[in-house]
Amino acid sequence: MRRSIRNHYLLLSDLLLLSLAAYASFVLRLERLGLQQFWLGYATLTLIALFTIPLSLYVMRGYAHFWHHASTRELILLACAAAIGVLIATSVNLFTAFHSALMPPSVPFIFGLLALTAIATPRMALRILPSYRLHRTPTSRRALVIGAGTTAEMLVRALQRDGSNNTLLVGLVDDDPTTHHMHLHGVPVLGSCQDLPHLIKAHQIDQTIIAIANLPGKRLRELTAIGERAGVQTRIIPGIHELIGGRFTLSQVRDIRLEDLLRREPIQTDLSAVRTLLRGRRVLVTGGGGSIGSEICRQVVSCEPAELIILGHGENSIFEIQAELSNRLAALGSEARPTIQIRTIIADIRARQQIHAILDEHRPEIIFHAAAHKHVPLMELNPAEAVTNNVLGTRNVVEAALAAGVGHFVMISTDKAVNPTSVMGASKRAAELIVHHAAGSSGRAFVAVRFGNVLGSRGSVVLTFKRQIAAGGPVTITHPEMRRYFMTIPEAVQLVLQAATIGSGGEVFTLDMGDPLKILDLAHDMILLSGLEVGRDIDIAVSGLRPGEKLYEELFVAGEEYHRTEHQRIFIAANAANLVPVDLDQQVEGLAQLTQAGDNSTLIAGLRHLVPQFCPPDERWSKTTSA
C-alpha cells in the first residue's frame, strides 16, 4: 500500500515536471520567457509528452520499483522510457513544425535531456535521502568501520539503504595509505588502524565494525583489544564464504566469536568429491549423537545418501539429532526433499555380537566411526573403560565392517594418540593400529583422522571457561605454557569427509591447524569476548597439570612419513600401516582379558606394551631430568 501511494506521487511529479521541462526547453532555445507564436507547439509537445512518457514508464514498470534501492539498472530504465516518449512526441511535433513553424527544430533535443532530468530527480531523491537521514539521526550509535575494501563497501551501502537502523557511520580506517582522505559512498577514510584510539576518543565512537575479509585471528585479537581498552563494542562482518550467495545484509554483522580468534584462516575444502561418494549410498555413523558425530550426520544428509544409520549409546542425543534431521528434510518441501531413510540404533560398540548383527542387517557401505571416550582425566581414573570402549569397541566395529563388506571406513582419532602421555591417548593409538591392520589385510579404504581440540565440542575447555566466566571466575588453567591445536567443528568434519574420498587404506590424515594456541591466550580471549577484563572482572588461576596431561601435542608418530595431499591444508601419513606390530591381534586379545581382571596397573602395562610410545608425564619428566 505504501509503495502504491508513493508511486501515485511519482506520477503526479512526472506530470508536473514534464510540463515544466517542455516549457524550459522553449525558454532555453528562445532565450526569453514568452513563447509568443510557439505556444501551440509547446502545448502540442506537452500533451503528447504527458501521455507517452508516463505510458512508457508504466509499461516498463517504472512505477513499480522500490526507488530507495535504485541502482544503475533503474537509471537505464528511466533513460529508455524518456527516450521512447520523447521520440514519439518529437516525431509528431517535428512533422508539424515543418509545415507550420510552431517549434524550433532544436527544442525536442533540449526537451529530451530535461525530460530525463525531470523523471529521474524525484526517484534519485528517494534513493539518496535515507542515507542523508542516516547521517543526521541524533540518537544513532556512532560507528567506525575498520577496512575500506569490498567488504566495507557492502557494509556502507547496506547502512545507507536501511533507514531504520540506528547506526551513525562516522568514517572508515584502513592501513592502506592510498585510501586515506578518500571517500567511500560519501564516508571519509580518516586514517589507519593505529589511529583507532585517537579517532575513537575524538569522534566519541560507540562501536567499531571490522569489515576485512579473512582477517587473521592474531590481528583480529589486536583490534578487539583496542576496542576493549577504549570501552567500545567491536563487531565483525563474516567472511565472504559465510555470506549466503555472496550477498550481505545488516543482520549478518555480528559479535566476534571465539573461532574468529584462531590466529589462522578458516579451512574450506571442496566437498564435490564427497557428495559424489556419498550420494545414493548407505552410511553409518557411530557416536552419532556426539558433537562430531552429529555434525557428520548433518553433512552426510546434505550429500543425499540413500540411507543414514545413526548409532549411539545415549538415547537422548540420538533422538535429538534424528529429530533435527527429520525436521530439516520436512522443511524442504515435497519437491525438493531427497528420499533419505534415517534410521536410529541405540547400541554399545562394546557389545560384539550386537554390532555384528546390526551391520549384517543394514549392510552399510561407508562407516564414520566417531564413538569413543575422550575425557583425559576421567580415563586415567578408569583405564578399563578407555580400553573396552576405544580399543575393543573399535575392534568390534572394524571386524563387523569387514564381515559386512564395508568399502570405506574412517575412524576419528586425536593428536593425543601421538607419543601419548594418557590412557585415553594410548587407547586411541591402539585403535588406529586396529584400523591400519584391517586396511592391510583387506585392501579396503580403512583410514584414521587425527583431530586437535575442537572448539565447542562436549568436554571442550571452552565450555569449562564459559561456565567459570558466568560464575564470576576464576578461570582455571592447568599450566601457563600449555599449548593445544584447535579447530572448529565444521573444519573437523570436512577433514573426516575428505579422508573418505582420498584414502585408499592404512593412511592417517590430519589438518594443517597452524601454530598451537596457548590455553592462557584462549582464556584471555574468552574473557575479552565476554566484555570483561582480566584482573579487574575475572581472574585467571593456575591449578596444575591433571593426570595424563602434557604441555603440548604432536601430530605424527615417529616413523610416519607425511606430506600434503591435493588439498593443501590436509596432511597424509601414507606409510602408517607399516608400523602395525605383527602380533597385534594377540596383544589386543590380551588387553581384553586384562580388562576382566580389575587390575589397572597390569592393564596399563599391557597397553604400554602395545603402544611403546605411551609414557605418562611423571615418567617422561624423570627420564628428562636423569638424562
Provide the pairing of β-strand 475-477 with 207-210: unpaired
Q: Per DSSP, what are the bridge partners of residue 310?
A: 285, 344
The H-or-E segment that residue 13 falls in is helix 2-30
- The Cα 382–Cα 424 span in angstroms is 10
Nearest residue to 465 via CA among 261, 228, 268, 232? 261
Q: Per DSSP, what are the bridge partners of residue 344?
A: 310
> Active site residue: 416, 428, 518, 550, which one?
416
Does the annotation count 416 as an active-site position?
A: yes
Q: Per DSSP, what are the bridge partners of residue 483?
A: 518
**438, 402 contact by CB (below 8 A):** yes
Q: b or e along 528-553 (b: 16 or more beta carbons within 10 Å of the residue's beta carbon)?
A: bbeebeeeeebebeeeebebbbbbeb
Reading the block at residue 206, the C-alpha cell is 560507540
**233, 205 contact by CB (below 8 A):** no
Nearest residue to 119 via CA among 186, 30, 22, 39? 22
Nearest residue to 40 via CA among 100, 95, 109, 118? 100
Secondary structure in 3-state letters for 470-492:
HCCCCEEECCCCCEECEEEHHHH
- The Cα 129–Cα 124 span in angstroms is 8
- The Cα 218–Cα 239 span in angstroms is 16
Nearest-10 crossing angle of helices 107-134, 2-30: 140
Nearest residue to 200 via CA among 226, 174, 222? 226
**285, 300 contact by CB (below 8 A):** yes
Dihedral sign for Cα atoms in the order 384, 390, 395, 397: positive
- The Cα 550–Cα 479 span in angstroms is 10
Measured from the Cβ of residue 98, the count of other Cβ atoms closer than 10 Å reads 11
Q: Annotated catalytic sites, by residue?
A: 416
